[in-house]
Chain A
């Protein structure tokens, strides 16, 4: 019901209503004098005009709420108003998702700490994070308890999982961001983000929801590319996982290897690989892994399939309490400061699945799926004890296991084809960009970076990323020009193929076709561009 009352009617609205009534009365009741000063004008026309104006306002409000176009011009429109229209297409606005990560908390006393459900921590900008369950922190922790570890300076630390209080990408704070407990914590010394928080997504804009409409109204089934995408979006888009983009490799596609399991190597169809991008900003999963000594200063850890199903790349391996610089080395795709390591991926769980995987090519055919595991040899560790705990950061898309389970569900699965879900190959993008702006309108590097991050993370399953398209984004922030000389704007990209080879690119265009290798699943149809704020080196020059 509208909240508009007679008191809200403006003079203009009343005048229009009054004129309409007088004109109507003149036509229908010409014998009644409606001029000013008449009783009929005061007692009949004026009250009726107020009600008529109120009805007109309510009708206009209702009409505006029945169209996405007019609703966009209504500043009072709520998410419920939009959802009322979007429901006609089986779509609703995604309310956004919460970022999650871990906090490294340093305390000065070795004792048991009881961390309650909903304990709040806040960063300097006021962004809040809370525990989603109660924890007991103790030395010698077992089960679900959190271990209290000792530092060399006499303090102690523990790693506490937390989730953001509010949705949004702003909550994806960088590793090392200082936090403080909102309520007192006994013995508190300091706290910082143990890893880069990820998973936070802004509430969906109406423009983004409108882009989903064609898929929403299309046929939903595991059959064609459009219907597969519609099916997955219908199932996951409103929840915490979210589907940003989908690409499929079926019969005849160059990266479809699984339908050639015959002596002649002919494609026979009935095999589909679904690449589902479920993140905008790359999602970082942080694990603590205990390595086994395998040589001088070397340890081996195993990243099980369940640790991070379908993970793309190991971002860093470091000491558990280390906070290292987040900038990627675009030659190896690991963070500068990470331990050197050699990774060997393999397949797992093949005997328990009906999916057609060639065991002779299982590394490639299970790449970036929930049947992938990895054994990692870490070198250069200044330790010789039998075991050593490491902090391992991975780029891992959310929901790969859930999507695989969904397409395997007997009530959903295609009875004629074998579907496997993969995380897309991720081409991490970095850039060095000298930007010029007017001294009268200085643009901050953070503003430009935010715009570029949003744009690059929206480029999925396309062939290339060019300087010219990024320049448009930069200029839209208010910058006046970009240095395109030989020492000016340069793009960097690195993508790991299914065999583990990292392909690096640089220049004015990152072109996947230049490094295409279908036999190791590296093509534009399997690859997405992604970046983080820390990978963009933007220099703003006011002139």
Chain B
């Protein structure tokens, strides 16, 4: 060991005159969490729009908080549609991935929103830049999500379906505040342009789980206006003047129903919101409850104030788990905020709202059955009169309105009955939400003015080819099937044609849908859902479903059609509730408009080449290229290969189960079904 070699740190420090104190590394300052902040406060503009001098301070704070989140000026906002249609294509995973991104922190605010209505384009994402431009992206995949990320971070806008601009930059309260600036994907713009989104104006723009965002769009301002500046009689007058008709199927004047309940001697009154929506194929109420639950709650509050009720119920079917969860959270939030409870918005009026789930029967959507179910009894209808508006729950006046009807109320109170009546005419004012489904390219939820012609709805919005459409099924199983022609869609014209607008289901049928088969399906549904009290609604519908099934299975006999006609009239005449009375509408309309299809089925032919027992598959040997796909794919070995050169592939129709596998697999379109040689399927490419 040499003396001069330093062995310890102390020696080293002495040699080089270093300090041994640990250097003070300053802790990095924490990154401040920047909250979204809007440019201008929204409350003055809303107060002016609603013509009220002030709102309770709690509401004002909520509005400012929500406005900061909806229109942030210091960061971008990405809204991902996560209603049921979005969840079905895993949009909530997309939302999770985007909200956990590190480079979004403090730069991009990510939120989940409801359904914009364009269900064919899910997952839908809306990117809002601080200048007030909205870039709508549709059918987002794992690759196209990068366009969204770049648009949000660097404003490099590309790959979007449409660009919309806020008319007044920094203000977003409803769909009307946006205008379409650039249409890149014409499917989306064709779908959106003819619509007038008054009632579903918030769906797809605000977060349904967030009360502040709803208040920022003017939510609960209509309730403030009614509570503090109007009497219940004035609210009722406004609804009477607007001539609002029930949107659940009955089409009864809402104002009249309210007046009857309010002018009753009994002081205890109830409001029930009907969210049962049993029609197969209709999901308007579900979309409203999932995407904008507070609007429905505000409608309920206004209805309760108008008739003097202090307890309201919402009856939602338990098959809508997302709607139930969203609605329950909305009720809890509103109670915490002082909107429901003993002092609504710090006034003297008290209102409590309870959520009740149904147990899953179509008949329980009928008014009187619903009251029985709320009491805990079997959901069987009771005779009317007395109507629930006179004697309902517990023999007190009860008004029962559909969820969509109640969603119209805040709009009418805010904007006035005169403006409501600028759309529609005669007896059908306002807009209606339809569920457009069937053989069209663009299915989804649409809100159109009543009186719009069916050509616009089916061809412009839906994207169907006019030559391919055979019929329209309007109004669910209680509605009717009418041939496709240009008909204005309002209450009176559609009922005159034999169908009814009902709750708003609109199914488009092309030439290869068998009308008899569809009627059989609708009648079977009604037979299963009948409560069983009235003899003909129960036994008659069972027999009717059986007869129609016989017809579809090529077992129809001579007097089947006259028996079907007779039974349908008996069922409609002797039933005690509207389920039974309207259950055979599909039979009446189809016997009227499509009688030839029934007659052909009696002879064993299906003009739509669809019913399994009436079609045969044929192989066109001229186009066959010997690929053997039909032989390989047939599950019942009906296709055999013979050892000849011509007509090598033989399809035995005795063994064929009509599974369509060979027809869909053949790459050259050789195998087509025919019905009795008379009717043949057109080319498979359409």
Do A and B come from the same complex? no
